[in-house]
């Protein structure tokens, strides 16, 4: 059996990205080296996020991105922007979309999804 253990994000500035993603997700460093940081949930189980300081070209649209589910999407988007994220405006986004596209301080894109309307979200979080 397989399970997702960590999602790896390529970064240029490990310290800056560690500060952003730790605050964004309330994660803590579980392992750190000169060019790699593994962030894990502060409380309980969950998928880790690894920051890998390896030069790579940015591709748009990205081939993969994170969807972060939020009970209060507006508050989370505002909090993430205050941490250094930027909103991405995309002409193809439907007017009734339940997601907001953001990028971290280095331009890695992710979405904040309004989970309030998804009945399975609360049950999923509670285990």
Q: What is the CATH number of the domain that holds 73?
A: 3.10.180.10
If asked whether residues 81 and 45 sit together in one domain, one would say no
Question: Residue 6 burial (CB < 10 Å; 0-12/13-18/19+)?
Answer: middle
The reported pTM is: 0.87
pLDDT of residue 102: 97
Q: What is the mean pLDDT of residues 35-42?
A: 95
If asked whether residues 106 and 72 sit together in one domain, one would say yes
Full residue range of the structural domain in which residue 47 is found: 1-54
Alpha helices in 13-94 (DSSP H): 14-25, 73-83
If asked whether residues 70 and 38 sit together in one domain, one would say no
Query: Given a cut of 80, is residue 125 above it in pLDDT?
Result: no
| Averaged confidence pLDDT in the chain | 90
- 9 found inside a domain: yes
If asked whether residues 121 and 68 sit together in one domain, one would say yes
If asked whether residues 41 and 97 sit together in one domain, one would say no
If asked whether residues 50 and 68 sit together in one domain, one would say no
Query: Given a cut of 80, is residue 119 above it in pLDDT?
Result: no
- 2 found inside a domain: yes
Q: How many domains does the chain have?
A: 2
pLDDT of residue 59: 83
Beta-bridge partners for 68 = 112
Query: Given a cut of 60, is residue 5 above it in pLDDT?
Result: yes
What digits encode the pLDDT tens for the residues 42-81? Answer: 998 899 999 999 888 888 888 899 999 999 999 999 999 9
37 C-beta neighbours (distance < 10 Å), count? 24
Question: Residue 31 burial (CB < 10 Å; 0-12/13-18/19+)?
Answer: exposed
Percent of the chain with pLDDT over 90: 67
Query: Given a cut of 90, is residue 107 above it in pLDDT?
Result: yes
């Amino acid at each position: 059996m397989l399970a997702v253990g960590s999602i790896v994000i390529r970064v240029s500035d490990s310290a800056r990205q560690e500060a952003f993603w730790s605050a964004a997700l309330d994660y803590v460093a579980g392992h750190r080296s000169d060019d790699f940081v593994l962030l894990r949930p502060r409380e309980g189980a969950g998928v880790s996020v690894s920051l890998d300081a390896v030069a790579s070209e940015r591709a748009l649209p990205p081939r993969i991105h994170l969807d972060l589910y939020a009970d209060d999407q507006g508050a989370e988007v505002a909090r993430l922007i205050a941490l250094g994220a930027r909103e991405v405006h995309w002409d193809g986004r439907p007017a009734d979309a339940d997601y907001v596209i953001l990028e971290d301080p280095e331009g890695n894109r992710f979405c904040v999804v309004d989970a309030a309307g998804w009945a399975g979200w609360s049950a999923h979080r509670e285990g």
